[in-house]
């Protein structure tokens, strides 16, 4: 009987799925710090996706989140 060998496995970082953005890009979009965005993630106050150990964001969901948290004008009459 012959011996079977497994093909060598090269571990490479997985690229983020196309279209997702990282914490720095969300921070730039919000005009905030990376630390602030990470706090929003930790408190689960902003929609995000886990890709392995990385946190990524769908730009459409970030825009919807911004629209949902927009404060309108106060009308007195």
Burial, 26: exposed, middle or buried (Cβ in 10 Å; 0-12, 13-18, 19+)? buried
Tell me what percent of the residues of the chain surpass a pLDDT of 90. 69
**pTM as predicted:** 0.71
Tens-place pLDDT, residues 1-14: 556 655 555 555 55
Q: CB–CB of 7/41 below 8 Å?
A: no
Which pLDDT score, from 0 to 100, does residue 73 have?
84
Instruction: Report d(CA 12, CA 66) in Å as an integer.
Output: 34
Residue 20's closest CA among 52, 69, 62?
A: 62
Q: Determine the distance from the C-alpha atom of residue 67 to the mean position of all C-alpha atoms in its chain, rounded to a whole number.
A: 17
Which pLDDT score, from 0 to 100, does residue 13 have?
59
Tens-place pLDDT, residues 39-62: 999 999 999 999 999 999 999 999
């Amino acid at each position: 009987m012959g011996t079977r060998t497994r093909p060598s496995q090269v571990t490479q970082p997985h690229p983020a799925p196309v279209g997702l953005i990282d914490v720095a890009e969300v921070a730039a979009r919000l005009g905030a710090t990376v630390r602030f965005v990470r706090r929003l993630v930790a408190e689960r106050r902003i929609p995000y996706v886990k890709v392995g150990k990385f946190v990524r964001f769908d730009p459409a969901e970030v825009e919807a989140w911004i629209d949902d948290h927009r404060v309108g004008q106060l009308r007195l009459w």
